[in-house]
Amino acid sequence: MPPHTAALRREPADDVDNDNIRARRNALIAHWAADRLSLSGWEIAAYAEMLHAVDHEEPGDADVLRQLKADFAERGVAIDERELESALRTCHKQALRETWCTD
């Protein structure tokens, strides 16, 4: 990030804010994936909870991306890794907006 824009970016105030952002992001990506994986109803909520639990396995997004790839493979749904990463970034930006943080 260029130095002049760093001051414009609001970082989460604490771990609770960050967890809320990531929980919202995980719910959004779960809904995105659920549509492609043909999940519905209670499966979507359970899937979002599972993705959020997976997100706490290691720092960063590799754990969530790995789970998403595995779920798509298990269901025989072809998905490009770049598409997954792009969707996760888009969901993260939306989560930031919805939780009143900036991206």
* CA 95, chain centre distance (Å): 9
CATH number, domain 15-98 = 1.10.790.20
How much is the pLDDT for 45? 92
DSSP state for residue 103 in the 8-state scheme: -
Per-residue pLDDT reduced to its tens digit, 19-37: 889 999 999 999 999 999 9
Query: Can you tell me the mean pLDDT for 33-60?
Result: 93
pTM of the model: 0.79
CB-based burial, 21-51: b 16+ in 10 Å, e otherwise:
bbbbbbbbbbebbbebbebeeeebeebbeeb
